[in-house]
Amino acid sequence: EVSPDTACFIHQALSEISRCLKPGGRFVSITFAQPFFRRRLYARSEYDWSIRHQSYGEGFEYFVYVMTKGEELSTR
């Protein structure tokens, strides 16, 4: 869980990233944060993007999230 100040900062950053992306543009995030935690931050309809993710590695897993501007946000 992130602090309210951190959540505000993340929202500001993601809002700006979304604003700068053209339709079909992609934002890629590579992190060790699991989907349960990261999706809560990325999955906001106001960003107007879809989210998909892949995991890589064994034992020391990392995750690649790809947000595509203008695509429908999945509820799962």
Show the domains of the chain with their CATH numbers.
4-69 (3.40.50.150)
The per-residue pLDDT string of the chain (76 residues; one tens digit each, 9 = 90 and over) reads 789 999 999 999 999 999 999 999 999 999 999 999 999 999 999 999 999 999 999 989 999 999 999 999 986 6
Helix (H, G, I), strand (E, B) or coil at 28: strand
Which residues, other chains included, contact 5 with Cβ-Cβ below 8 Å and sequence gap of 6+? none
Nearest by Cα to 29 from 44, 47, 17? 17
- Residue 46 pLDDT: 96
- Residue 76 pLDDT: 65
C-alpha to C-alpha distance for 1 and 70, rounded to whole angstroms = 28
- Residue 43 pLDDT: 95
Residue 44 has phi, psi (to 5 degrees) of -125, 130
- Residue 18 pLDDT: 98
| Predicted structure pTM score | 0.89
C-alpha to C-alpha distance for 19 and 37, rounded to whole angstroms = 23
